[in-house]
Structure 1
Amino acid sequence: MVGRVLGGIATSLLFSAFESWLVAEHNKRGFDQQWLSLTFSKAIFLGNGLVAILSGLFGNLLVDTLNLGPVSPFDAAACFLAIGMAVIMSSWTENFGDPSDNKDLLTQFKGAAVAIASDEKIALLGAIQSLFEGSMYTFVFLWTPALSPNNEDIPHGFIFATFMLASMLGSSFASRLMARSSPKVESYMQIVFVVSSASLLLPIITNFLVAPSKVKGGGISFAGCLQLLGFCTFEACVGIFWPSIMKMRSQYIPEEARSTIMNFFRIPLNIFVCIVLYNVDAFPITVMFGMCSIFLFVASILQRRLCAIADKPKTEDWMAMKERDTEEEPLTEP
């Protein structure tokens, strides 16, 4: 239980602190904004794709070839984390923010909530992220039973590597899209969400159109092959999603509250995943995929709205809110 709590804290830091530091450092050094998109794409291509594949192969080497036991990949992960910590502590500069603006935790959360409520673009971005990531994390738990409903012997390692390859292709495609002035990221992401929604409908379609196999065991079925094609398409959309959502977050979320707002976005995401997993045995797997597909389609509708208001100025930006709060503070007599 303690490990899960610490893992939750680490996950929140992983998905907020590094990106916030990168954007702040990039802007502080005055680099070209186009480089930021390229950095995001390379991070997804190398980190979420290539390194994930190599890590799986390395873990398999430790367990099966060297016979070091099932815990050895976790021990190796701890070693790599220690190396990463040493590199960060020795080469990264700390981003302290504005030292005159130190606030307690409750005030930071309140400020983040005000920023989300006062800017429709931030609110839309948070809803889009929660809908997509919620569907993505639910898919992680669904793809294995979907491909082996009769306990078919499927090559899990090969399929995972295929998913990662599809994600790498998606991130590579995203880098080429973001390198162009047209289409804008807000525009092409509408198509990405529609395609991802359609790809998760394949398990439902094959369930109605392809007769289920009655044979227990064996290899992957024809329906499973069709679903695998759809799942690879979805993973390619995931590869496009990550650098694109990072790019939009760097544009719309104020630097002063970026980490707090990004963790705000994860609250509905975690609640959604917990509800789905708690009730995973109460609904057929096709219902779960249908729900994810609906959420992704809703994300495409919200993305269309974000695209429509992308060029509109904020009703009240972050600095204006801070100045207003300062002016409203009562003056004390000398």
Structure 2
Amino acid sequence: MEIFYFVVFGGLAAIVAGLELSKSNKDRINTSSAFNSFKNNYLLVYSLMMAGDWLQGPYVYYLYSTYGFGKGEIGQLFIAGFGSSMLFGTIVGSLADKQGRKRASITYCITYILSCITKHSPQYKVLMVGRVLGGIATSLLFSAFESWLVAEHNKRGFEQQWLSLTFSKAIFLGNGLVAIIAGLFGNFLVDSLALGPVAPFDAAACFLAIGMAVIISSWSENYGDPSENKDLLTQFKNAASAIASDEKIALLGAIQSLFEGSMYTFVFLWTPALSPNEEDIPHGFIFATFMLASMLGSSIASRLLAHSAPKVESYMQIVFVISSAALMLPVVTSFLVAPSGVKGGSISFSGCIQLMGFCTFEACVGIFWPSIMKMRSQYIPEEARSTIMNFFRIPLNIFVCLVLYNVDAFPMTVMFGMCSVFLFVASILQRRLMNVAEIHKSRSQEWSPEKEMTSEADPLNP
């Protein structure tokens, strides 16, 4: 493996270590022992859940290709996953609010384990079933766990600021450290032990089973809407009404869809982008490098969220612009760097430049997750949290399905350029969200009950 990969990985590791070791008391939040116990339990579960997810990530595309499927067929399998998430996501989100977030989290484990088992079959139909199950599981992963955490955090009376600490730690560990270990462990199983590309999926199922046991034994149940008489249709209407009546929620949903749509498109594109001529690239090691970059981003986010300024709505504008520039690199290099016509071999010079850009994008992803979680906890009403969060995923999944359906019709540079444009639009919407939030806050302060009572008590006070 080329020294270039080790240099990039080592450089990122040194920066992350430096940031973590240089944290001062101003960058830390003082908490209680009860909260720390609660937080550590959630971090353990979240890390196990993400280990099950990250172990699969680098090898999904590779596994399908070893079964003899082409780019178009693989794209259709990916479409099945995102389409499933779109069709069933809102339903499972509403069921999570109604039937309980703990039950939904257990359902995630069972569904994803079944999805892993299907990877042993080279039959297209079986793999398609696995993608459908995986889509349902993904909807639960990105709604049920966060909804359980926010509700349980508030139910136990912990301070609101402590929630951002849990978010940043969860991304640092689950989307950073665990992802790195998962990437290296997957590389070890596939390359060093030569167990084949299906081995990481078996390991993922084991971690998911362990996490499910922890959830069953240590989590209490919580719900969204306390009314048991409201059916799913009523929950859908209430969630849609909340989004339509509150511009902040609608903007937040649009921002999330634009960013995550670009991110999931990137997940599909990075492998062919770095090996356009079938270059021999270490998938697991590169994936671990990406996750280290994401870990760097979450470390930066933890510092930003520990302070009242700059506000999350403010600095995320810059993050979206940087991520837009990072995904524009494949387009730029296609014009400035002559393509290599040699099949196989090591990564090209253009690939090296793109890899650096992709690491920058992953750092932005690391900042994005705890920051969007913080904004969701502020703006989304608790009674329909899972339902609304999965409503956000509908346009996201439509976008990704359209991209993957046309993956053979458009050059890769066009798709990267499109993602870059969407990320820039997200920065514009983020600015609008900041302005709307400030206006709403000023109006709330102007018409606060305290001022109204003072005005009524003092007739001379206008």
Same-fold status (TM-score > 0.5): yes
Map of 1:185 onto structure 2: 312
Moved more, 56-65 or 305-314: 56-65
Q: What residue in structure 2 maps to residue 96 of structure 1?
A: 223
1:273 aligned partner = 400
Shift of 1:309: 1.1
The aligned runs of 1:225-304 (5 Å cut-off) are: 225-304=352-431
User: In the aligned structure 1, how far is the partner of 2:358 from the partner of 2:224?
Assistant: 41
**Equivalent residue runs for 1:102-181 within 5 Å:** 102-181=229-308
How many angstroms does 1:155 deviate by? 2.3
In structure 1, how many angstroms separate the alpha carbons of the residues matched to 2:274 and 2:188? Answer: 26
Report the more deviating stretch, 101-110 or 235-244: 101-110
Contact 2:248 2:436 (C-alpha < 8 Å) held by counterparts: yes
What displacement does 1:216 show?
2.4
Deviation of 1:275 after TM superposition, in Å, equals 0.7
Aligned partner letter, 1:145: P
- CA 1:70–1:30 in 2, change beyond 3 Å: closer, same or farther? same
1:221 corresponds to: 348
Match of residue 35, structure 1, among 154, 162, 171: 162
Quick one: structure 1 residues 28 and 128, their matched pair in 2 at CA, closer, same or farther if it must change by over 3 Å? Answer: same
Equivalent residues, number:
316
Q: Which residue of 1 aligns with 2:324?
A: 197
Report the 3-state secondary structure (helix = DSSP H, G, I; strand = E; otherwise coil) of the residue aligned with 1:103: coil
Partner of 1:324: none
Mind listing any 5+ residue stretches in structure 1 that lack a counterpart? 317-334
Q: Which residue of 2 aligns with 1:311?
A: 438
Question: How many Å separate the matches in 2 of 1:304 and 1:181?
Answer: 18
* Secondary structure of the corresponding residue to residue 284 of structure 2: helix
Greater relative contact order: 1 or 2 (C-alpha under 8 angstroms, separation 6 or more)?
A: 1
- The answer to whether the aligner puts 1:79 opposite 2:206 as a matched pair is yes
Q: CA deviation at 1:61?
A: 3.7
- CA drift at 1:215: 2.4
d(CA) in 2 for partners of 1:10 and 1:210?
A: 41
Counterpart-to-counterpart distance in 2, 1:33 and 1:79: 34
Coordinate RMSD, CA, aligned: 1.8
Query: 2:386, 2:412 → 1: CA distance?
Result: 35
CA displacement 1:90-109 (0-9 Å, x = unmatched): 11110034543541111111
TM-score by length of 1: 0.90
Q: SS where residue 440 of structure 2 aligns? A: coil
Deviation at 1:68, TM superposition (A): 4.8
**Identical positions, percent:** 87
1:51 aligns with 2:203: no
The alpha-carbon deviation at position 77 of structure 1 amounts to 1.9
Residue 17 of structure 1, CA deviation:
0.6
Q: 1:226 to 1:67 in 2, by over 3 A?
A: closer
